Structure 1
Amino acid sequence: MLFNSIDFALFLPIVFLLYWFVTNKSLKLQNLLLVAASYLFYGWWDWRFLFLILFSTLVDYTVGIALSKEKEKNKRLVLIWISILVNLGLLGFFKYYNFFLDNFTTAFSFFGRDINSSSLNIILPVGISFYTFQTLSYTIDVYKGKLTPTKDFVAFSAFVSFFPQLVAGPIERATNLLPQITSKRVFNPSEAKDGLYLILWGLFKKIVIADSCAVYVNEIFSNYEQMNSLTLLLGAVYFAFQIYGDFSGYSDIAIGTSKLFGVHLMRNFNFPYFSRDIAEFWRKWHISLSTWFRDYLYIPLGGSKVSKLINLRNIFIIFLVSGFWHGANWTFIVWGGLHALYFIPLSLTNRNRKNLNIVSQGKMIPSFRELYSMLLTFFLVLIGWIFFRADSVAIAFDYIQKLFAFNFKSGFQYLSTERYAPELMILIIGFIIVEWSAREKEHPFFGKWIHLKIIATLVSIILLGVYSNVTDFIYFQF
């Protein structure tokens, strides 16, 4: 079920009413409703994959209980490895089986040995990368003694399958979400109103920004060989805003929807395109994933409290794994490696935690130095997005080579030939201004003219929603 669909527009108020007016007297019934609603929400795509969620839930619930009873170190180690291998095994099979098989076959062919192999027609379950990491956070935290395992299977099932963030995050920690699931929740009108604002802003990002950009991104990337440098730059910029509007839009809707049910999810985006260096960008982009890798991979490897050489190894590992997490394609691995290269100079010079404050806090206009730093960081991110979007590494390099060919003939080709292209550029500029003015808040619906902002946003969503198809969110494929 898509957030930007009529189905969800009917589903959400029904669940909301049942949650607060029918099951509100019993926490167990509320959680049972959440589980039922979440399974219906997920099964709307393909009911067969509900068995994967149920299996993962059963395994990690059982492991958590067993860990609480087992004191012997070796047996506890066996239990945690059962959870890790089962979850990553499922993820590896459904997401990476064909990737490894194809590359294994190619490697042998390179040395003159042909291997007969056949790829499987494997359908990738929506959101498997997200809920797999979420359940792993539970068993790892229980193993480390950071969390007491729950004996309430319904509550644990609600934690694993909580529908607002089930298929594209944020990737919640058990230490944050599970205590909220197991505690009585009270309706807060102010929180609910704030949740509706976030839902509205998330829909604007998805329908008005991301889906509008997607039309031009698809055309430019599909025909990049015929495009000049300015148009290729336009395609990269549009993709940057497409993926940001799409993914952060989903997160906003997820966080806003959760607030309607008295649940607080972690923030997943914090205006990342206003970052002054790559380290700041990764503190503000897909925060739930970057902090997951930091806590469960980077720090256990030694983090920065090791020699410089080992630290560089750790940086490469988390960025390469992060890239590979996104998909079974070398483009994502190169994308991750590129960001590691961006990050390393900051780490070597101990400047990776330089920009921790809000850029130009309390001011409307950034300084020249801040503006330069933001534009440079955005450009570096832009180059990375080309690898992320391209079908292959070779195509990405070819795209970048043509981008830097400085062919300015005919100007922006898609501005002069496509309907609404100039208007889209104006829309993007307006979106940047609105985001900049709201960078110290969670969303732009605050201060003066709030009702006018809401009306303008609603009108934009309705007008563009009528003339565009309902599309999946990009991160569903991850």
Structure 2
Amino acid sequence: MATIIISYGFSMLLQNTKSKILLWAAIIISASPLIVNRIVGFCGKMEYYSVFEHLIVPLGLSFYTMQMIAYLVDIYTDKIEPQKNILKYALFISFFPQIIQGPIPRYEQLGNQLFEGHSFDDRKLMRGIQLIIWGFFLKFMIADKAGIVVDTVFDGFEGYRGLFVLIAGVLYSLQLYTDFLACVTLSQGMAMLFGIELIDNFNHPYFADSIKDFWRRWHISLSSWLRDYIYIPLGGNRKGALRKNINLLATFVVSGIWHGGGFKYLFWGMMHGIYQVVESLVPYFSRKFTGPAKAFRVLINFFLVMIAWIIFRADTLRIGLRMIYRMVSKFNPWILFDGSLYNLGLHEKEWKVLFVSLLVLLYVSRKQEKGVVLRDVFETYNMAFRWVIYIGAIVTIWVFGTYGLGYNANDFIYGGF
């Protein structure tokens, strides 16, 4: 509430006073809770850490802070007019479906939708329900199942080497994607029930054939925010190759710090920055490929992203680096056939459900990549058949989803950032 009131006051001042000092003051003060949180994260177990360790982090802190910064900068650059009604501004900042973990909306994308009013639209209602069902499928059928194996290996990393770590890294990559996509899909579905459309935040990032392409597809609202409010203001690619690469590294440092206070996040951001710098320097990565050559590029790109995700998921940077070393220091393919995987928390039938669910995700993603909008296809079916599919999907998730007696509903992963 305090940052909403403060940023609102600064927005009124910026409308009439185009002062960089005022803009920077507005940004720093509005972002101060996030800045304090990140500083505490870097402090680790230093003596004065205990003073801050019991602070309660506001829900959606990283996400609504970026909304505020974008809003203030857009007013300063005359891209938008400030919202004079503080209650409407508060609604824009705290709109409940997307505050937990995005997507990060711009005022021009979401503002008018929140204020103009919407009549009941049964088509949008049904599309919202479809998105909600798909979100639950991604969360319960893939993300939380994969998370059991991931937690087993990462929490007891000293006992695992070789393919155990590789499989955990691959599953974490899939868990993070489907968990994040699930929450965003649920957000879009809930907003759609009210006739409000939130932007897409993903475009099948694991189909990317370069790190640059990956960041066009992953967490799109964050990537575009970093581009518009960090990379371009630093000079973008307008001041030569050296400056461009420095700007890239600086942008990904900000991305790492945004995700969390701690050196592992900083290192993860630097990895992606270095990936892109290398891509810009090696002509091979600028060439376009098709067929098997493109598939090979996609696999290599996924592997590089997965290596960075291991650092991201590990408790500390040191543990992450040790896990990568342990992954490459032993070759143990027999674990795929001797039942060892069943000791990682998932029984044989659960592995099969996870595998089939991933095939469903792959099928849907391939269709979407080719421009097929499955919601439009559904509308061509008669109502009875559509409801058979909806109810069948809900029952399938109830029966095969990862929850039940003793189940601890996991928070959405990106809600922690």
Tell me how far apart the structure 2 counterparts of residues 189 and 222 of structure 1 sit (CA, whole Å). 46
Equivalences for residues 51-450 of structure 1 within 5 A: 54-70=1-17, 73=18, 76-93=19-36, 95-102=37-44, 118-121=50-53, 122-348=55-281, 367-408=291-332, 410-412=334-336, 414-417=340-343, 418-420=346-348, 422-423=351-352, 424-440=354-370, 444-445=374-375, 447=377
User: What is the letter of the counterpart of residue 295 of structure 2?
Assistant: L
Deviations 1:255-276, CA, capped at 9 Å, x for gaps: 1211221222111011111111
Specify every segment of 5 or more residues in structure 2 that has no aligned partner in the other structure, as ranges.
none
Following superposition, the deviation at residue 85 of structure 1 comes to 1.1
Relative CO higher for 1 or 2, CA cutoff 8 Å, sep ≥ 6? Answer: 2
Aligned with residue 396 of structure 2, among 437, 460, 463: 460
Tell me how far apart the structure 1 counterparts of residues 357 and 158 of structure 2 sit (CA, whole Å). 27
TM-score (norm 1): 0.78
Partner SS, residue 169 of structure 1: coil
Q: Percent identity?
A: 32
Aligned residue pairs, count: 401
Contact (CA 8 Å) 1:230, 1:408: kept in 2 or not? Answer: yes
Following superposition, the deviation at residue 100 of structure 1 comes to 4.0
Query: Would the alpha carbon gap of residues 56 and 231 (structure 1) be closer, same or farther in structure 2, given more than 3 Å must change?
Result: same
Query: Would the alpha carbon gap of residues 301 and 437 (structure 1) be closer, same or farther in structure 2, given more than 3 Å must change?
Result: same
User: What is the letter of the counterpart of residue 211 of structure 1?
Assistant: D
Tell me how far apart the structure 2 counterparts of residues 204 and 392 of structure 1 sit (CA, whole Å). 31
Kindly report structure 1 stretches of 4+ aligned residues shifted beyond 6 Å.
350-355
Partner SS, residue 323 of structure 1: helix
Tell me how far apart the structure 2 counterparts of residues 465 and 419 of structure 1 sit (CA, whole Å). 12
Contact (CA 8 Å) 1:187, 1:262: kept in 2 or not? Answer: yes
TM-score (norm 2): 0.89
Tell me how far apart the structure 2 counterparts of residues 194 and 389 of structure 1 sit (CA, whole Å). 34
Tell me how far apart the structure 2 counterparts of residues 427 and 262 of structure 1 sit (CA, whole Å). 30
Deviations 1:174-220, CA, capped at 9 Å, x for gaps: 12111222323333322222222111111111111111111111001
Tell me how far apart the structure 2 counterparts of residues 268 and 116 of structure 1 sit (CA, whole Å). 38
Contact (CA 8 Å) 1:228, 1:409: kept in 2 or not? Answer: no
Tell me how far apart the structure 2 counterparts of residues 219 and 280 of structure 1 sit (CA, whole Å). 32
Specify every segment of 5 or more residues in structure 1 that has no aligned partner in the other structure, as ranges.
1-53, 106-114, 360-365
Following superposition, the deviation at residue 447 of structure 1 comes to 3.2
Tell me how far apart the structure 1 counterparts of residues 219 and 183 of structure 2 sit (CA, whole Å). 11
Deviations 1:283-319, CA, capped at 9 Å, x for gaps: 1100000100100010000001112111111000111
User: What is the letter of the counterpart of residue 327 of structure 1?
Assistant: G
User: What is the letter of the counterpart of residue 396 of structure 2?
Assistant: S
Partner SS, residue 299 of structure 1: helix
Query: Would the alpha carbon gap of residues 443 and 469 (structure 1) be closer, same or farther in structure 2, given more than 3 Å must change?
Result: farther
